[in-house]
Structure 1
Amino acid sequence: MLLKERINAFAKLGDRVSTLSGEEFEELSRRIKNNNSWFTQENVKEAFSGLQLFLKKESLEDWISPYKLNPDMEPKTIGLMLAGNIPAVGFHDLLCVLITGHRAAVKLSSSDSESIKWLVSTLMEIEPQFEELVTFEEMLKNKDAYIATGSDNSSRYFDYYFGKYPHIIRKNRTSVAVLNGEEKPEDFLSLGKDIFQYFGLGCRNVSKVYIPNRDILKDLLDAVEEFNSLADHHKYRNNYDYNKSIYLVNGEDHLDNGFLLLKENEELVSPISVLYFEVYSDQNSLEKKMKEKSTKIQCIVSNKAWYPGSFDFGQAQCPSLSDYSDGIDTISFLKDL
């Protein structure tokens, strides 16, 4: 299959996703939610809206053209261990494999099987040639290369089994926000989206904020009150109640607005329903902290004009096609196999 044909097929998949509505979307989102109750209809809609931005013909062409793929490249079979923390989160890896002309042997996450199955079956309906290029497998043995996403613990397992093959093995990462004290209420509201979207389950969700002083915290809590409906979700509420009880029993200092707990902590990854914060003294000390923890940070959210290289407030879950997980260029890895 030619690159042009692959791009056209994915662009048509994007069109198909954009027209998904009514009873068909209701049925699909119901199946996805039955598979994982964290995946509410709203979260499925948000995830699929993000895919629409990926799957535009112009975006795909602009993304892939600089790599100058070799049309005579011998296809390899790539084993994919997909993550399942948010709906369709593993689709980008699948897209990278197929757009470069390789074959994908996919091990689905038990937490997110329905969304990927629907996307793949729809892609095959659009372009039947993909039927020979994608398989779903329980055991990924003897593949030419591997891309595996998981936790720090599972990465050791992946490295043991896949380390002798060309591989990308991803570990735990999270995202942080950096505030300078000049934020407006609308900035805090947008930051709330970075914190709460997908219930905070994604590696691009903000789990910690760096602040110049504690006075900011009240403004933040006031602004994110709009997200209080999260407390109606039973799993989120269970996490909130559990963490609150632990802090109260142990007498640990924290702030509480009824659905979010703010706690001072030097760690990056906070539990669901908890946002860690840390006060920095000056920009030099802040930059030192960011550098020390760079291998654990997926993205930084801030005022881009003040903190170059960051994502604007509210944009953490809006990566471009070239915003690769862990900063590893997946296309270059696949191109050079």
Structure 2
Amino acid sequence: MELKQRINALTRLGNILGELSNDRAFHNLDLEFESILTKAQAENGWFTLENIKFALQNWSKTLTEENLTRWVSKYDFKSFSSENVKTVAIVMAGNVPLVGFHDFISVLITGNKVLTKLSSNDRVLLPFLSGKLIATEPDFENYIQFTEGKLKDFDAVIATGSDNTSRYFDFYFQKYPHIIRRNRNSVAVLTGNETEKELALLSDDIFRYFGLGCRNVSKLYVPQNYNFDKFFNAVYSWKEIINNHKYINNYDYNKAVYLMDSLPLLDNEFLLLKEDSAFSSPIAVVFYEKYNSDSDVLELLKEHSENLQCIVSNKPGINGIPFGKTQNPELWDYADGVDTVEFLLSLTRG
């Protein structure tokens, strides 16, 4: 397939996702799509209809001809050798819906073949979308394969997991060209001068997908004497999240553990704020840490850069992501700062 053919197919998939995820479609589900959604939720209780819909809508807005063309325009596809197509194994995570989809389409857009090992927590959505993609472009059928068994007959690997599993990946895949993704977290650096709108948008960065993604803000850096009242007022729009049984179980459990240890907490009845130097906060908890000066917080961010996926801030001197945008990455916003497309193209150059 030519590059333009692949772009056109992914553009058509974007249109299909737009049709599937609009309000009318979600209120009048066809039998096939309803079955897919039911199975996805049965496998993963965190995959609510709202979150699946959000993921599909995001990808429908991302997979446009304009975005796809801009994405690939910086790369040298002229040196691509169709005779040197590689099979790239992807070991998927399953914490949020379609979390590995960017890696999946990166392999396809570069003309390589993808061998996907799905997470047991997300085994339904990607094969469904793959079927839609193949229906729009049958040539992709020879480029897409899923496996439940041991990975074999591949040339390179992209694997995502925890810090513990990444050590296993490093050992197991050491002989192959690879990208190994580890635990990362996202933070927000606040000044105390944020508007109510900005803080309301920050609440989307915190609560979307129940905070389970690496792009979710799990920690706040705040100045000394920061007043959290304005923050709590702004995030109140997410109060209904406490009605999710899995979320409230985590909220109650973590609150009980902290109170038994007599740890000071800030609590608005659906979110706990705990002062802590760590980055990875439990579900229903956001850590915060106070800073004394701009230079202090900049040094902290620099020191922990390898632990950070996104930094949300409007603070001068910080190359931050705008409030409310962590779950809306562009195609060229690569996880961990690793250029996936360049890595994949390097495999096929003669």
Contact 2:80/2:345 (8 A) holds in 1: no
Contact 1:14/1:56 (8 A) holds in 2: yes
Q: Which residue of 2 aligns with 1:10?
A: 10
Q: Which residue of 2 aligns with 1:67?
A: 75
Is the partner of 1:323 in helix, strand or coil? coil
Counterpart CA distance in 1 for 2:182 and 2:19 is: 35
Map of 1:285-304 to 2, 5 A cutoff?
285-303=296-314
Q: Cα distance, 1:26 vs. partner? A: 4.0
Counterpart CA distance in 1 for 2:119 and 2:250 is: 22
> Quick one: which amino acid aligns to residue 335 of structure 1?
L
Contact 1:2/1:71 (8 A) holds in 2: no
Is the partner of 1:275 in helix, strand or coil? strand
> Quick one: which amino acid aligns to residue 42 of structure 1?
E
Counterpart CA distance in 2 for 1:68 and 1:60 is: 15
Counterpart CA distance in 1 for 2:203 and 2:227 is: 14
After TM superposition, the structure 1 stretch with the greater mean CA deviation from structure 2, 255-264 or 31-40, is 31-40
- Identity between Structure 1 and Structure 2 (%): 47
Q: How many pairs are equivalent?
A: 336
Contact 1:32/1:115 (8 A) holds in 2: yes
Q: Which residue of 2 aligns with 1:194?
A: 205
Q: Deviations over 1:17-46 (max 9, x none)?
A: 111123135443222212211010000111
Q: Cα distance, 1:140 vs. partner? A: 1.2
Structure 2 unmatched ranges of 5 or more? none
Q: Aligned to 1:321, which of 320, 326, 331? A: 331
Give yes or no for the alignment of 1:160 onto 2:186. no
After TM superposition, the structure 1 stretch with the greater mean CA deviation from structure 2, 26-35 or 260-269, is 26-35
Q: Which residue of 2 aligns with 1:210?
A: 221
Q: Which residue of 1 aligns with 2:189?
A: 178
Give yes or no for the alignment of 1:86 onto 2:96. yes
Counterpart CA distance in 1 for 2:225 and 2:40 is: 40
Is the partner of 1:111 in helix, strand or coil? coil
Q: Cα distance, 1:221 vs. partner? A: 1.3
After TM superposition, the structure 1 stretch with the greater mean CA deviation from structure 2, 172-181 or 72-81, is 72-81
Q: Deviations over 1:139-167 (max 9, x none)?
A: 11241100000100000111111011100
Q: Which residue of 1 aligns with 2:37?
A: 29
Q: Cα distance, 1:308 vs. partner? A: 4.0
Q: Which residue of 1 aligns with 2:121?
A: 111
Counterpart CA distance in 1 for 2:35 and 2:88 is: 31
Counterpart CA distance in 1 for 2:237 and 2:225 is: 21
Alignment root-mean-square deviation, CA: 1.2
Q: Cα distance, 1:306 vs. partner? A: 2.7
Counterpart CA distance in 1 for 2:35 and 2:235 is: 31
After TM superposition, the structure 1 stretch with the greater mean CA deviation from structure 2, 8-17 or 213-222, is 213-222
> Quick one: which amino acid aligns to residue 320 of structure 2?
S
Structure 1 unmatched ranges of 5 or more? none
> Quick one: which amino acid aligns to residue 96 of structure 1?
S
Q: Deviations over 1:236-256 (max 9, x none)?
A: 001000000011111001111
Q: Cα distance, 1:307 vs. partner? A: 4.7
Contact 2:18/2:61 (8 A) holds in 1: no
Give yes or no for the alignment of 1:269 onto 2:269. no
Q: Which residue of 2 aligns with 1:41?
A: 49
Q: Which residue of 2 aligns with 1:333?
A: 343
Q: Deviations over 1:177-225 (max 9, x none)?
A: 0001111111111111100000000000000000013433221112111
Counterpart CA distance in 2 for 1:119 and 1:159 is: 30
Give the TM-score of the pair, scaled to structure 2. Answer: 0.94
Counterpart CA distance in 1 for 2:226 and 2:180 is: 40
